[in-house]
Structure 1
């Protein structure tokens, strides 16, 4: 838990109404996959059943305006087509963003629930 939201963090949603719309949103933001960004993607089952227009990725500065460089790097590390290049949960927990200011709250700084379950 961070003491505050990352600078520039706002509402960033990528929720589609269907699986096809969700895929279109991902493709629009990350760009059409290439052999470089996702080796072997063209040989996946059902790859040729649906086509989307070729698109370049949306610049991260447009997707996450004003977000700190370290936070953007962490987010980009999760959002890669190639799972082999994607950051693991263990690696993410060691990412520099969690150790930059403002630092995450310590256990002592976290709100403590009372007996009735409400936070003090």
Structure 2
């Protein structure tokens, strides 16, 4: 039997639900990630990551932010490179852990 899980639920589970994933980067600030890595994300990179963390596709983000899909992917790839990861989900996880964006649950309660 297969169950359908919306993409935003999958990302949220990945960020806060899975025991192994939930511990990744828990001590990011105390481990010196922000100071030793000197990571800075642009406002647009943070915005695209924030929408991606809520389960939005590149096409949906492009419509919301009024930019092209190519530009969304450009910003997401730049943020992935800066964070040293190879996937959108991992980029969202690290962005949350480092305080660049809020968790999807916190964003949902703000609206």
TM-score normalised by length of structure 2: 0.28
TM-score normalised by length of structure 1: 0.27
The structure whose Rg is larger is: 1
